Amino acid sequence: MGKEEYISELIQKLETTQPLGEEEQRLLRQLPLNIRHYEAGQDIVREGELAKQCCLVIGGLVCRYKIVGEGQRQIISLHLPGDIPDIHSLVLPRMDHNLGTLTSVTVGFIPHEPVRALTRSSFRIAEAFWRETLIEASIYREWMVGIGKRPAASRIAHFLCEFITKMKAIGLSDGITCNLPMTQTEIADSLGLSTVHMNKQLRKIRETGLVRIRASRITVLNWSGLCELAEFDADYLHLREQTPS
């Protein structure tokens, strides 16, 4: 897989919300990439570090997280292929959280200066990156509401709905089946739940016949029922195609 194919992941992700013209795609494909591979459980960037490059997720699952108390982890966002989870470092270079891997991951590092030059020369690309940061903020708001007010079962259902919808948008799910390469502990760390409570509530959801989960693979058996339990409305993701079929 060459550099242009890697950049295609970024273009595909940006176009989930707004189409790009041929010129914008050509300019994006000219960005330099330094490819690196990480195993699961490694940090890509650590809290407090001064970032000098952006990280494009090419393959695998990446998360933002914070450590609180005596080593307790709160996962604050998930990032799929095509995401640049630290695009904000162009403006805020000192990291206030960790960026780590949940699976084996391939990333492409893009130095800040070429990205800055590109955003200065192309308003459409600058707007696309800005839109991504605004959508991230929208997702944060939804996660905050979930952790603060939704019951545990609804929180888990909402997490599943969001993940499947985002995976379908980038062509990694048909909207019915989807790989979710996360442990129950990692999902619990994303939702502010204990692993024991997470296990109990997930079992209840499975017993209702809404979803089947086997070997990290989700199969949705009743999409409307899962959305009802989750109170899920995909508008906050601002996708051009918003719901699985």
CATH number where 214 lies: 1.10.10.10
Same domain flag for 85 and 186: no
242 within a domain of the structure (yes/no): no
Give the structural domain span for 22. 3-139
Confidence (pTM):
0.94
Same domain flag for 20 and 91: yes
> From CA 172, how far away is CA 69, in angstroms rounded?
36
Same domain flag for 219 and 180: yes
What's residue 65's pLDDT? 98
What's residue 243's pLDDT? 45
What's residue 120's pLDDT? 96
Distance from first CA to last CA of the chain, Å, rounded?
30
Residue 38's Cβ-side half-sphere holds a number of Cα atoms within 13 Å equal to 23
What's residue 77's pLDDT? 98
Same domain flag for 124 and 165: no
What's residue 1's pLDDT? 58
Q: What are the mean pLDDT values of the chain's consecutive 10-residue runs (245 residues total)? A: 81 95 95 96 97 96 94 96 96 96 98 97 96 97 97 98 97 96 96 96 94 93 97 96 49
> From CA 114, how far away is CA 225, in angstroms rounded?
46
144 within a domain of the structure (yes/no): no
What's residue 79's pLDDT? 98
178 within a domain of the structure (yes/no): yes
Same domain flag for 130 and 159: no
Same domain flag for 102 and 156: no
228 within a domain of the structure (yes/no): yes
Helices (H), 17-151: 22-29, 112-121, 123-149
Same domain flag for 189 and 114: no
The CATH number linked to 44 is: 2.60.120.10
Q: Among 139, 166, 198, where does a domain finish? A: 139
What's residue 245's pLDDT? 43
Question: Taking CA 193 as the corner, what is the angle to CA 189 and CA 194, rounded to the nearest 5 degrees?
Answer: 95
> From CA 50, how far away is CA 96, in angstroms rounded?
10
Q: Are 52 and 123 in contact (CB under 8 A)?
A: no
Q: Are 129 and 13 in contact (CB under 8 A)?
A: no
Same domain flag for 180 and 81: no
Q: Among 139, 170, 202, where does a domain finish? A: 139
Q: Among 71, 104, 139, where does a domain finish? A: 139
Q: Are 155 and 191 in contact (CB under 8 A)?
A: yes
Same domain flag for 109 and 157: no
Number of domains in the chain: 2
What's residue 2's pLDDT? 65
